[in-house]
Chains A and B, each alone.
Chain A
Amino acid sequence: MTDQSIVESIRSDPNSRALSALYKQFPMVRSLIRRNGGTTKDAEDVFQEALIILVKKLRTENFQLTAQPGSYLFSVSRYLWKDELRRRNRQVPQELLTESNDTEHPETETLGLKDLLEEESRIKLAEQALSELKDRCRELLLLFYHSGLRLKDIAARMGYSSENTAKNQKYKCLEAAKNRLRELKQTLQS
């Protein structure tokens, strides 16, 4: 798959073929992170995060990808790891501090990552709230908003007696998620 076709297929719908093409970049990110005090698990987490950012960026209308997707992933991963090290109160190695000058791995600042990261941390909190829901609730929400399945099929698959029950249940799950998120935010502030 060429970079162009990856970008296009992610724009329309992130299929697994395009995603696994992007996964080719993982070994690079992994070695970067392992060189700089992280484990493979850290590398996976960071890489996933970077992939999510890239996919979402590609889906926003006015986003122009200035670098190759692979380079973008690498840069974002590097930035994320640097941020994570700071969060863990660990020293940031020199390799991460020096912004590279080669065009293949552009400056993180030019990618506007700082704002992005703040936004992401808010979303991650929401994700956490969701992850604390009951499995069934979370599955219903994911199916409902991101599976492309019809309500009828979702109701059948989840074993709800009617579409209305499923829909009602969905609102209850949304409510539970909102309440949890509200709590999480309050604990953060206090």
Chain B
Amino acid sequence: MRTELELIQKIEAWLDGSMSAEEQRLFEENMLRDAHLLGEVRLQQEIMNGIENAALRQKIQQTGRLRRRRRNLRNWGGAGLAVILLTAAIFLIAKQHVPATPTSAPPNIPAKSQAPIYSGATTHDTIIPTNTGFTLSIPNTQPDSNEQRVRTKNTIPLQSFHINTNADTVIETKGGIILSIPASSFLDSSGQPVTGPIDFVIHEALDPASIIKAGLSTRSGDQLLETGGMFYVDAVQDGRTLKIDPSRSIYAQVPANQYQPDMQLFTGRRLADGTIDWQDPRPLEHYLNTVDIHQLNFYPPHYLDSVRSWGYNADDRQFTDSLYFSFAGLSSQAAAPVRSSPVAAQPRPVDYTQRDTIILDSSIGPRYDCDIDPARIKAIWNDSFRNTLLATREFEQRMTYIHMAGPKILDLYVQNLDKNLSTIDSMTAASPYISGQLKGEIFPSFARRRDGKVPLGIQQLQKLNIYYIQKTQAFATAVARTQKEFWDHEALLDKKYTDHTIDSIERTSRNFQQELDINFREACRQLGYTIAPARPTPSVYQVKLPATGWFNLDKYVRTATEGRTTLNVTDPQTGKKTVIQYLPASFHPARWKDYDRLYVYLLPDRLSSYMRLTSANGSYPEKLNVLLSYDLVCIGYKGGQAFFYSKPKVQAGDHSFGLQPIDSATLDIQLKKWGNQSQSAGLLRENAFDRWRQQDRPRLQRNERLRDLRDKMERAFFSKCLFWGEAEPQ
């Protein structure tokens, strides 16, 4: 850490008292002596106080109802129309009298049977919870007579607001009604826009006492209503009554202690006998509060738990995102990450029994569709969808079940952002794409909550729909291509292992054939044959030969060559003897345990390739054919350092030797010197491969982990898609 930062750290420790007594004493002495230090401490103290203030201010601002609602106002815009409201009230009708409302619930979903009676009373000690309350647009009705305004004025205390129509205004009444009045929302009697200051008047009767005092009734025709409060608004300029511009809207938020989904807005009509009849019930709009969409969780259920249980950091959002979204475009990339490395060329068995257990209990019902492609989630989980229905806690709750229900249902939600959440819940409950518990219980119970909407313009809706479709495809393609490129590249690297294995096999068999050939010729010579007959190849074993002589002889030679044992036979036909000798040799590199890797090679002079010896406890035994002469080459590695030893024409017997350090360029030169051309080329190749493999180890290990993680992910979250393929997009 830089010294400046260390000083800051130290000052902090002093400020929060986390120093030891000794440290503190020293620090304070320094402070007395050092004016600069003292200044730094003061400055930091002030910053800390500033931070405290800023935090407090943030909290207070969040709490400030006025400010919060003013912020909401920005989201309100859109629909709405209104003329001066005469008298309006919000009522809860006894449920059985509710006419089929144009809201969401389909008839087969029963409303909660015992809704608590709504109390419209508010007292000064009541705090209005932030997310309850009704939002309504004031309906379009005819202005009532002056006479009625006067009478109402007499009975309920008036609250008058002097507002400027040139600016957006938010007003809050004593009873807590918030009215948001956009600029230029009033027309005069001739329909011309009104400018300048006007008087905005409200009478409110939110509690029973005021309602009774005002002589207001709560009757709608013959039915009694439970009131959530009544209010009256009027706008006047220079004594002239104004109308609300139908293309604008005034929004009212009425406080509620407890949100009642069945409240409706009634418009009051004064009857001849002076009482008010409440008419024209309209459902209220209940707006949902949006939150930062990045704070929500749209992952499949149990995703984070699983990631954690696999030993990864589930709190690292970058990691969890990249892991989940790497499965975008599922079906097209499903075949990509198969194991192509011969190092671990085990086909990974898929555990079919696990397919359904992690995602959900199968009793919830069969799924008609494939798992949701993460590309879809990626397309919605970003700033483009902030301030929409998706950026709500309410939607987050549904998301868990939408994952179970599949992409068709997700589409339903995303494509109906302008509707009430409960409307989409009902559409989902009626969808043929779900069944079981999801259909019978979960989505109907969401629908019954009557969760509202987040206002959204039609243009924005269309734009987002297009965005969703395009981004889903774009993400899917991009991720699938990236994945494919990655694994293709890995496969290319993995191929080196295959090539090396093939190379080694070829080398061994070439050596064997050549040595066999040499032995065979020698045997022929000893037996007195001048021209060696064609030597049978292994495939000829199955053929019965009429003459056994050559066959037997050849078998002996082959056996001797294979087993590297001394051949000593007599030809039964000629009585001549043939001897091919193999003498044991053993090589002992000093301090063999110190090396990370140690290779002992023998380079036979008459063979085109080299032999790599295998070790047994630091000893490298081999049997040397007396017909050949062998050069010894030994290479060791300790960390990155290479060590080398070589000796020409080694004899049978025990050889102990030490290796000398060597740099890799010199090593290559040395290797070129040894043996014949093809041997040294082979040795160089082998050595290069060995160095590369050493570097490649982390890559293999990483890929191993990656494949393992992808396997787990597939089994846990994408089992359906990988086996069934995703349903047709859109």
Q: Which of A54-70 contact B (CB under 8 A)?
A: 55-56
Give chain A's interface secondary structure class.
helix
Q: Does B66 count as interface, using CB distance less than 8 angstroms? A: yes
Question: Do B124 and A24 touch (CB < 8 A)?
Answer: yes
Q: Which of the residues B8, B47, B62 comes within 8 Å of A126, measured between beta carbons?
A: B47
Which residues on B sit within 8 Å (CB–CB) of A161? 316, 318
Known contacts A51-B60, A52-B60, A146-B55; A178 and B9 CB within 8 A of each other: no
Give B715-728 as 1s and 0s: 1 = Cβ < 8 Å from A's Cβ atoms: 00000000000000
Q: Which one of B8, B52, B66, B317 lies within 8 Å of A171 (CB-CB)?
A: B8
> A37 near B: Cβ within 8 Å?
no
**How many of chain A's residues have a CB under 8 angstroms from any CB in B?**
49
Is residue B33 within 8 Å, beta carbon to beta carbon, of the partner chain?
A: no
Contact A44 B66 (CB under 8 A): yes
A16 on the B face (CB < 8 A): yes
Residues of A contacting B172 in the complex (Cβ-Cβ under 8 angstroms): 27
Please determine whether A138 and B1 come into contact, CB atoms closer than 8 angstroms: no
Decide yes or no whether B44 CB sits under 8 A from chain A.
yes
A100 at the interface (CB under 8 A from B): no
Give Cα A126–Cα B315 distance, bound, in whole angstroms. Answer: 33
- Interface with B: A74-82, A110-118, A152-160, which one? A152-160
CB-defined contacts of A124 to chain B, threshold 8 Å? 50, 53
- Pick the residue among B48, B57, B61 that contacts A145 (CB under 8 A): B48
* A131 proximity list for chain B (CB < 8 A): 54
| Residues of B in contact, count (CB < 8 Å) | 43
A142–B58 CB distance below 8 A: yes
Contact A130 B44 (CB under 8 A): no
> Across the interface, do B43 and A182 meet the contact criterion of CB distance under 8 Å?
yes
Contacts of B48 in A (CB 8 A): 145
The docked-state distance in angstroms from the alpha carbon of A127 to that of B56 is 11
Q: Give chain A interface residues in 166-189, CB to chain B under 8 Å.
A: 168, 171-172, 174-175, 177-178, 181-182
Q: Which chain B residues lie closer than 8 Å to A125 at the CB level?
A: 46, 50
Q: Is the CB of A23 within 8 A of B8?
A: no
A97 within 8 A of B: no
Known: A23-B63, A156-B317. A178 touches B1 (CB 8 A): no
Within 8 A of A (CB), among B59-88: 59-67
Residues 1-32 of B at the A interface (beta carbon under 8 Å): 1, 4-5, 8-9, 12
Q: Are B47 and A181 in contact (CB under 8 A)?
A: yes
B348 on interface, CB distance cutoff 8 Å: no
How long is the Cα–Cα vector from A124 to B52 in the complex, in angstroms?
Answer: 11
Inter-chain CA distance A174–B63, complex, in Å, is 27
Q: Tell me the nearest residue of chain A to B55, going by C-beta.
A: A146
B59 near A19 (CB under 8 angstroms)? Answer: yes
Q: How far is the CB of B54 from chain A (nearest CB, A)?
A: 5
Residues from chain A with a CB closer than 8 A to the CB of B318 are: 159, 161
Q: Which chain A residues lie closer than 8 Å to B174 at the CB level?
A: 27
Task: State the CA gap A178–B45 with chains docked (Å).
Answer: 10
Q: For the complex, is A123 an interface residue (Cβ under 8 Å from B)?
A: yes
Task: Answer whether A123 and B49 are a contact pair too, CB < 8 Å, given A152-B315, A156-B317, A168-B1.
Answer: yes
B61 to chain A minimum Cβ distance, whole angstroms, is: 7
Is A35 positioned at the interface, with any CB of B under 8 Å from its CB? no
Q: Are A48 and B49 in contact (CB under 8 A)?
A: no
Interface residues of B in 669-728 (CB under 8 A from A): none
User: Using a CB–CB distance below 8 Å, which chain B residues touch chain A?
Assistant: 1, 4-5, 8-9, 12, 40, 43-44, 46-67, 124-125, 127-128, 130, 172, 174, 313, 315-318
Known: A44-B67, A172-B5. 7 other contacts (CB 8 A): A20-B63, A23-B64, A23-B65, A44-B64, A52-B57, A142-B55, A145-B51
What are 16 A-B pairs at a CB distance below 8 A?
A14-B56, A19-B63, A26-B66, A27-B174, A52-B56, A126-B50, A130-B47, A130-B50, A138-B54, A146-B52, A156-B315, A156-B317, A159-B318, A168-B5, A177-B47, A177-B50
